[in-house]
Structure 1
Amino acid sequence: MTPQHHFLRVGQVVPADQEVATVEIDTLVSEAIAVMARRGFDQVPVTLNGLVVGVFSYRSLALNLAFVRRQDDPLSYPVGDFLEDLAFVRAGSEVEDALEALHQKGAVLVGDEERLVAVVTAADVNGYLWTTTNQFMILRDVELATRYLAQRACADEDELRALVAAVRPEGMNGSPAERLEDLTFGELIAVINGPERFGRVFSRTFGSSRELVFSMLEPVRDVRNKVFHFRDVVTPDEVDLVMNARVWLQRRVRMVQ
């Protein structure tokens, strides 16, 4: 992997199955809308002699309807009468460079007037970012829910500090850890998993089966290390393990609130 691939580029957010569709400048509005509806597009680039001269969109149509005479049917007009301009960006540009244009008009064109490579919409960026980050968000939910249940299980702050210090007797400054937030996820599991500690304290919120809790959380730790340290690709089975843990923890949280 080359260094530039470490940074998010516009080309990375283009859907893999996207097929660029264009219409000629003299295409009727009714025909262009049919193309857009059939393909699920909100806009379509418009060309003249092979060059992109603008974009026809539902918005560009709405913005120009005021200029259509009442006795005329706007669907019978050529799309060339209802164009708007979208910014061109390079596939290798950083997504950050395209955000302002995406915010203003909801889409950008990838390439240039002579060679249109793709159309990137705000929805494409949102979809890419969610697909890329949902593993982080799910793991976040699991870790925060585990902390919450562990904290609620303790009778008071003194009991919580004692349990945390038992797992992390010395912090970076030489003093014992005092908060669950000071612990790694592996150490958090260790706090909960001690047989005596679990039965005496943590069964209050995690339920009676220490083995069930450990068998569910331990694989999450391995997946977490993969995701947060960018080591390997997480498999679908591993995603299912984390999702199942998340659902189970959500249920436990609702039960103790």
Structure 2
Amino acid sequence: MDSRIGSIANELRAGQTPPEVSVRTFLGWFDAQRRRYRIVQNIRDELAKEGVRTVPDFETVWIDAPIRFVLSEGDGVSASFEPKTPGESPPKAPETVAPNRWESREVTYKVGRLAAANQGIVSVPPDKPVAQAVTIMMLRGFSQLPVMTDDGAVLGMLSWRSVGTRMVLNRAAPLVRDAMEPHHEVRSDVSIFDAIQAIVANDYVLVRGADGRITGIVTANDLSLQFHDLTEPFLLLGEIENLVRNLIGNVFSADELKTACNPADASRVAYVETVADLSFGEYIRLLQLPPNWSRLAINIERDVFCQSLDAVRKIRNDVMHFDPDGIEPEELQQLRQFTRFMRQLASARG
């Protein structure tokens, strides 16, 4: 356990307010960079042991969002944790982790978890010349600019479309207020998939945070980049699996493929009829046996291949827990390299 959690718990029970940290920093306390299932569960266990939780929940917000710490039984200091006598250390909260270690949690991936939704916004006042706003858009490579007052109220949106429409219609628009159009926004707690509809229809959405402020703008380009980052591992894993299947599919009979299954699981053994029915782990068990490996007739080191395939299997398990945090850059590079290797192998085999 990271000792900082215990120190934070003591500060809270003493009526002090520990400083906020970012989710990324918080994960670093546990030598983690991403919110993988087991990492999250271990962190929740440690927080529960000390009777502490984060606000907002560290799993549901943008990875660089700030979080604060409170006692689990409320946002205030609980009297039950006060020392009975001066100098006496406050007792720890009872360990209440359920035997199965599962805790119900938010299942929707919210738009507020996207980086673009949290990176602030460049806006223009309504009484500025359109030429000034257009200059900002050109310099920054923006397609639109929110029109906002000094106190953060959104009045509309200036875009190339709104400016161009007025030019075509010969309508004078010297000031930003003359060329703006209605804006579109979503709350930060809206599902990413619900926000997609608004983004596709309008090319962007402004994101309004829980505190009522506009925290960012998510454009169609942001969405494309986000889903590229999320889908590339899926596509690479699909290609790797098909390449592995092609490598062994016509080499082994159905009965031989069944030997890769757990013999104690009769239903699993009965289910397997072709190589497409095997799991990644079963590919490895099949190919780890020297007699099976020799039937592939390839001059590749068996142990190195199986170790690499097992590394892909572990990455696959994380990728299947779809998460906007994505996977580690090193893991993505591993998938790319193994895909290239399998392509070369397939090409050489003809």
Relative distance call for 1:234 and 1:14 in structure 2 (3 A) is closer
Opposite residue 308 of structure 2, the aligned amino acid is M
Please list, as runs of the form range in 1=range in 2, the aligned pairs for 1:162-177 lying within 5 A after superposition.
162-168=255-261, 172=267, 175=270, 177=272
- Cα deviations by residue, 1:108-156 (Å, 9 ceiling, x for unpaired): 11229x832221112222322333343333323222221122225x2xx
Does residue 161 in structure 1 map to residue 254 in structure 2? yes
Structure 1 contact 43–55 (Cα < 8 Å) conserved: yes
Of residues 179, 189, 201, the one that matches 2:274 is 179
Match of 1:228 among 296, 320, 331: 320
Q: Any idea what SS the aligned residue of 2:253 has?
A: helix
Contact 1:136 1:227 in 2 (8 A): yes
Name the counterpart of 1:151: 249
Question: In structure 2, what is the equivalent of residue 21 of structure 1?
Answer: 122
Distance 1:249 1:173 in 2: 28
The alpha-carbon distance between structure 1 residues 224 and 111, as it changes in their structure 2 partners (threshold 3 A), is closer
Structure 1's 215 and 190: CA in aligned 2 closer, same or farther, altered over 3 A?
Answer: same
Among 172, 176, 179, the alignment partner of 1:82 is 179
Alignment match, 2:197:
100
Structure 1 runs, 4 residues or longer, greater than 6 Å off: none
Structure 1 position 93, deviation (Å): 1.4
What SS does the aligned partner of 1:24 have? coil
Q: Which residue of 2 aligns with 1:64?
A: 166
Distance 1:116 1:236, change over 3 A: closer
Q: By percentage of residues, which structure has more helix?
A: 1
Q: Indicate which of 290, 297, 303 corresponds to 1:203.
A: 297
Q: Deviations over 1:202-221 (max 9, x none)?
A: 235xx443234223212222
Distance 2:147 2:284 in 1: 58
Q: Which residue of 283, 306, 320 corresponds with 1:214?
A: 306
Paired AA for residue 224 in structure 1 = R
- Answer whether contact 1:46 1:55 (CA < 8 A) is retained: yes
- Equivalent residue letter for 1:165: K
Gaps of 5+ in 1: none
Task: Give the total of aligned pairs.
Answer: 243
Q: Give the letter for the 2:177 counterpart.
A: G
TM-score with structure 1 setting the length: 0.79
Which one of the candidate residues 186, 189, 195 is aligned to 2:284? 189
8 A Cα contact 2:198 2:205, kept in partner: yes
Separation in structure 1 between the aligned mates of residue 335 and residue 283 of structure 2, nearest angstrom: 16
CA positional deviation for 1:20:
0.7
Counterpart for residue 31 of structure 1: 132
- Residue of structure 1 aligned with 2:239, choices 123, 141, 144: 141
Are the counterparts in 2 of residues 86 and 105 from structure 1 also a CA contact under 8 Å?
no
The answer to whether the 8 A contact 1:107-1:121 is kept is yes
Report SS of the residue matched to 1:167.
Answer: coil
The one-letter code sitting in structure 1 at the alignment partner of 2:143 is D
Aligned to 1:127: 225
Output the aligned Cα RMSD: 3.1
8 A Cα contact 1:109 1:119, kept in partner = yes
Q: Which has the higher contact order (CA 8 A, sep 6+)?
A: 1
Percent identical pairs in the alignment equals 27
Separation in structure 1 between the aligned mates of residue 245 and residue 110 of structure 2, nearest angstrom: 36
Q: Which amino acid aligns with 1:105?
A: N
Residue 216 of structure 2 aligns with which residue? 118
Amino acid at match of 1:108: V
Whether contact under 8 Å (1:145, 1:250) holds in the other structure is yes
